[in-house]
Structure 1
């Protein structure tokens, strides 16, 4: 018995130990252009951001905004829009590909310091210029004075965790990372200098509220004290808030409840960012054994933590209710034939000729319904693209590919001429395929036909695998947005080329 040979999976690339090359280039370019900036928060974990394990949060001087964005575009970053509920005024989002590691680098460019609960981000801390003036060179990127960062952190944590609604919703405690960051900055900041920052740059807050904020973050602080302190801080910052506190609190609760219901009832995650250039349909095609499914899933895992991504399989689309009902009826009829002692065997194939029998007609109808299911899957996914999402398709029907995902009636010219039923089914099937437009990015995974046979040996008939692989190998892909990739190489090299090609075209 032959041992099946399966395509090797693409292993996750281990995280780099050193800062990413793209982050190094970004740092050099910002210095060369004279952009005033600093990595304004979470400097205790700055090494993680430099390695691409977390976002880069850069406070940028507003007069330097054009130069900052020009630097990012020059390095291949692509502008994105955060989900509406998470978007804060004065924020620029961009993603860039670090080619050596394959990591996506997410840069938040902040032109204003907008803080608060993640559900609303409602309050501005109006001391951006002083914050930038305190910056000094740090590990690769400029960082603020610890006193400024401590002030920003304490006020952020009070607005995020000490409000009455945060306490009621179980969000009243600092996470382990936030507590570690607070301890890190408290050990490095001079308390008197921190109070001076409050006096000189946030006089509306004042030293009394500042001390209350510090104490309410200490272990053992009562819920009443924390809620009162957060209420006083919200009032102090009311002139710099997006909405009044009594409006913001119910909105926070509403959004938290909505997020929890989506996760619990439907298993849906929160919305992701979308590229400003719009959505895109990425199709992965190739012969059997080329690694289409592996590449499509790897792309999904790579992009989905950052962007709105959906994976579909147009080769094997989900069955619609009509297709499911016909399949159940087919199986029931087969069961009755077996119970009545009728001869069994495989269902008849579709053979072109003078007439078509009932069982062959039922099989043709099932294949036409697969075309309908393929069209419906395309339709649903296209709506996601129209809203700015990215759709990755495992297989895609293309007119010039004849060996897979093509109309079933195309190989029945004589029956189409002689049978009105077959002609009607053919017209219906062709209408579905005509409605499927070309993809925005087409990745063609080419593999030598004999290599494809070796990869699928024991899994599929060798002649069929060889025939389909030869077609893909010999096709001329000019005139299509195609990236032809040699899939006979090691999977990691294939994925590296696919990622770079896809990112360039998004």
Structure 2
């Protein structure tokens, strides 16, 4: 069991919170070890106490994409710091069920809270309670075209859960439950419904039975079924678009405030490997964007300069070809330019403008609740990596330098900087093994520059030594990332 889940259980018990893990208990062992959602039913009057417990443990509520199932069904996310796993609590304060998309039935919670049993982790309902609720829920889904489609995808898992519950259920207990909570159903009727579901009988037969269940449970329905079905079609279409266009990326946002996380480091320091790891970690659960600030896309203001410059360079090279060149001196100049990494002033100014507009866009994403991951981030120190590079004292160069500094000074700061480093000898070895290695002198000069960078004092900085294993580095990054997210919210 994950440590944070045990803490939720222990602290909730101390706070006298009445709660249980109410469904899918055939995979409870996997759930408490961090695989899949944790589906909790919490007594409504205990909501404030429960939220205090989980907020104290660093959990955050999320803003749902497209729609909220109900004000009484919420999603909270936290992290188990020992394993680095994200823990997703799917919390019900009322037993609102009846579909994967837009639940429309509010079942009294007493059927669960009056029939609980202890396990080595969460309290859970008796298997007979789970069986009754599962069968009724699945028949309700049979009368929705959208839910039928989802049911078909998941039928193997549903059947597995049904058989697991049947092996542990006593029909006399099922009969007692039906008489007490669902008197509309006799035991014989319920057994027939269960058998048809387990045997996967023809769809037309199951739909017909579903219509009968729908009529019996009419008093628990929240809204008009046709209205809910229309909304389901819309949300299902959005889910298909999300899956095909966005490749399964989540649209959930960590509360109202997003954050910008920037990976900075020298060549071959390991920053790309670690930023890839963090992207993979957040991708399936949260809204995020990732960009490379060292290579900003050209804006309408700079595209003309960038297109014209190659031609100007060729013309300059052609003119220089007629001049007598001291090859030794020319080589020294080229090596100096390589070390200093100073392109043409027009390129430097264009980089400043492009980086400003890129980071301005990233700030907007952050303010909308997105997690923004960047490889590198602009620096305001002259001569530093990703900072201003024009140091001309007169003429056009001086003017371009002022423009460059103006735009760099307008750029905001990230919320978290992950400073990735490794010893120089290690970075040189890593660079040599790349498919397209950088010149050694360039790697050395960038390494020396990076040691001199001063970051803003109000920004959280995490230093990561990549001579440690990737797993150890990622645990440290995830923990710091989540602590910062909690602080911002």
TM-score range, shorter chain: 0.7 to 0.9
Q: Where does residue 450 of structure 2 map in the other structure? A: 472
Does 2:174 align with 1:194? yes
- What is residue 8 of structure 1 aligned with on the other side? none
In the TM superposition, what are the counterparts of 1:177-216 in structure 2 within 5 Å? Answer: 177-203=157-183, 210=190, 213-216=193-196
Cα separation, 2, equivalents of 1:206 and 1:323? 75
Asked if 2 retains the 8 angstrom alpha-carbon contact of 1:42 and 1:181, the reply is: yes
The equivalent of 1:418 in structure 2 is 395
TM-score (structure 2 length as normaliser)? 0.84
Inter-CA distance 366–122: structure 2 relative to 1 (3 Å threshold): farther
- Note the C-alpha offset of 1:334: 7.6
- Deviation per residue, 1:192-224 (Å, 9 max, x gap): 322332332234677687456435524353333
The aligned counterpart of 2:54 is 72
Q: CA deviation at 1:88?
A: 2.9
Kept in 2: contact 1:161–1:172 (CA 8 A): no
Does the 8 A contact of 1:281 with 1:393 survive in 2?
yes
Query: Would the aligned equivalents of 1:320 and 1:373 in 2 still touch at CA under 8 Å?
Result: yes
TM-score normalised by L of structure 1: 0.81
Cα 1:229–1:350 change in 2 (3 A) is farther
For 1:155, the equivalent position in structure 2 comes to 136
SS in 2 for 1:59: strand
Tell me by how many angstroms 1:426 deviates. Answer: 4.2
Show the counterpart of 1:241. 221
Report the alpha carbon displacement of residue 174 of structure 1 after superposing the two structures with TM.
Answer: 4.1
- Per the alignment, residue 120 of structure 1 pairs with 102
Cα distance change of structure 1 residues 165 and 468 upon mapping to structure 2, 3 Å threshold:
closer
Q: Which residue of 2 aligns with 1:290?
A: 269
Equivalent residue runs for 1:41-120 within 5 Å: 41-120=23-102
| CA distance in structure 2 between the aligned counterparts of 1:208 and 1:341, rounded to whole angstroms | 97
Matched with 1:306 is: 285
Q: Give, in whole Å, the separation in 1 of the partners of 2:42 and 2:381.
A: 51
Q: Is the 8 A contact 1:86 1:119 kept in 2?
A: no
Match status 1:259 vs 2:234: no
8 Å contact kept, 2:268–2:431:
yes
* Match for residue 438 of structure 1 among 404, 413, 423: 413
Counterpart CA distance in 1 for 2:153 and 2:430 is 53
Q: Which residue of 1 aligns with 2:355?
A: 374
1:89-137: CA deviation from partner (whole Å, max 9, x where unpaired): 31232222212211111122221112233221222222x1230221111
State the alpha-carbon separation in 2 of the partners of residues 372 and 281 from structure 1: 20
The CA RMSD over aligned residues, in Å, is 3.6
Runs (5+) with no aligned partner, structure 1:
1-18, 353-359
Cα displacement string for residues 351-379 of structure 1 (whole angstroms, at most 9, x for unaligned residues) = 99xxxxxxx99x44344333333333323
Mark the runs of 5 or more structure 2 residues left unpaired by the alignment.
Answer: none
Q: Deviations over 1:345-402 (max 9, x none)?
A: 99x98999xxxxxxx99x4434433333333332333222111111111111121473
CA–CA distance in structure 1, aligned partners of residues 365 and 214 of structure 2: 38
Deviations 1:138-175 (A, max 9, x none): 132211101111112112222334524444x5754643
